[in-house]
Amino acid sequence: MQRIKALTRARHSFNRVWFFSHQQKSFSAQPNYAANDDLQDQVCVEGRPKSRAAVLNRPSALNSLTTSMVARLNRLYESWEENPDIGFVMMKGSGRAFCSGADVVSLYQSLNEGKVEDCKSFFDSLYKFVYLQGTYLKPHVAILDGITMGCGGGISLQGMFRVATDKTVFAHPETQLGFHPDAGASFYLSRLPGYLGEYLALTGEKLNGVEMIACGLATHFTLNARLALIEERLGKLITDDPSVIESSLAQYGDLVYPDRESVLHKIETIDNCFSKDTVEEIIDALESEAFLSYDEWCKIALKKLKEASPLSLKVTLQSIREGRFQSLDQCLAREYRISLNGITKRVSGDFFEGVRARLVDRDFAPKWDPPRLEDVSTDMVNSYFSPLNASEPELKLPTALREPYI
């Protein structure tokens, strides 16, 4: 029991978010570039003397997650946590992505075939894995080399060590798809400096690896070219001590700073605009800023907002704002309600329309319902957050066995 408590304290101490104060060195691991997309090989395992690595292995689909992949991750992580011979765990991706998020095209196709329960099962398994990750007792190292989008962040950013590289591209583009940032995103985005989380969630704008370090989403940074050396170093570790792992990561890290064009240098403007109470007020503030400053960044942000689903924007803003005051389990429970309401067309079919327009037909001309922000009522937004009906159980997380943290 004392050992579990010590690991829990260590885990929480490594999960504090710092802004422009890290200047830490970093690490990553060389991905397995296998191209095998067979079902049983979509999550591979690499064994080391005192550690295990889960390898997301759907490179042709940018390692997007399916129900079977998430179920396998749950099984692996539960068994590894119980195994006293395993000191720490890693996760990485094959090819040019860590994880591009959920396989939303498959979800879209399943929903069109009437397989709603299968899609509900995906979200249930995914959010339970995110909670497992967020309460994991052993040190965890996520190698965010390449595309890291949507729930790719959810399955990794709750862990102790998050390693970004010069190839990392992070984003939450869900509002462009008529959905919302989920899988714990309302927890970690709401804890970013100022109102950066609202900006990233509403616009879907990208961050690179250096920017992830600067705002606290990542804990370490390294060059992609050093991955093989770092994996070799980690593979030789015989430990479960987070400080030993941290020291090993630091040996191969780089001191990095956001460049002049980084959005992080606009944090005051972001706070001024995205701190507003409503999406309409955020847009008004951006338009005013664009008029006064002639800043191209404002125009790009406005374009992103006006392309997104109006309903998704309002739901997302409320979700992030509520996340500021909730624990991880509460955020996941709320996101589960929003997701199920989103895929069942109870209020709107924007998720179907967004996926169709951007990923299926690719005409990039979604017909949002409602089409304008002023047409989105408070009741419509609130319905996404309401308790599920009696026939649909709420998300059940093992909070009595795995204590959530704030």
Average pLDDT, the chain: 88
CATH of the domain at 161: 3.90.226.10
- Judge whether 3 lies within some domain: no
The DSSP-derived string for 7-27 is: HHHHHHHTT---SS-------
Instruction: Report residue 142: phi and psi, to 5°.
Output: -105, 130
The structure's pTM equals: 0.88
- Judge whether 11 lies within some domain: no
Determine the Cα–Cα distance for residues 288 and 5; give it in Å rounded to an integer. 51
The 3-state DSSP class for residue 97 equals strand
**DSSP classification of residue 41:** G
Instruction: Look up tokens 């804890």; give the residue.
Output: 191
**DSSP classification of residue 223:** -
Determine the Cα–Cα distance for residues 388 and 394; give it in Å rounded to an integer. 6
Quick one: pLDDT at residue 404? Answer: 65
Per-residue model confidence as pLDDT tens digits over 134-170: 999 999 999 999 999 999 999 999 999 999 999 999 9
Per-residue model confidence as pLDDT tens digits over 77-88: 999 999 999 999
Q: How many CB atoms lie within 10 A of CB 321?
A: 15
Domain boundaries, position 96: 43-385
Quick one: pLDDT at residue 21? Answer: 35
- Judge whether 34 lies within some domain: no
CB 201 within 8 A of CB 182: no
Q: How many CB atoms lie within 10 A of CB 223?
A: 17
Quick one: pLDDT at residue 27? Answer: 33
**DSSP classification of residue 360:** I
- Judge whether 143 lies within some domain: yes
> What is the residue type of 55?
V
- Judge whether 398 lies within some domain: no
- Res. 26: pLDDT tops 80: no
- Judge whether 341 lies within some domain: yes
With a pLDDT cut of 70, the percent of the chain lying above it is 89
Q: Which residues are CB-contacts of 57 (< 8 A; sequence separation ≥ 6)? A: 32, 34, 36, 37, 41, 42, 43, 44, 63, 93, 94
- Judge whether 25 lies within some domain: no
As given in the structure block, the two tokens for residue 166 are 């010069």
Distance from chain centroid for Cα 267: 21
- Judge whether 12 lies within some domain: no
Per-residue model confidence as pLDDT tens digits over 104-126: 999 999 999 999 999 999 999 99
Q: For the chain, how many structural domains are there in total?
A: 1
CB 183 within 8 A of CB 154: yes
Quick one: pLDDT band at residue 228, thresholds 50, 70, 90? Answer: confident
Within 52-195, residue ranges assigned H as helices are 67-82, 104-112, 116-134, 151-154, 185-188
Rg of the chain over Cα atoms, rounded to whole angstroms, equals 20
Quick one: pLDDT at residue 39? Answer: 61
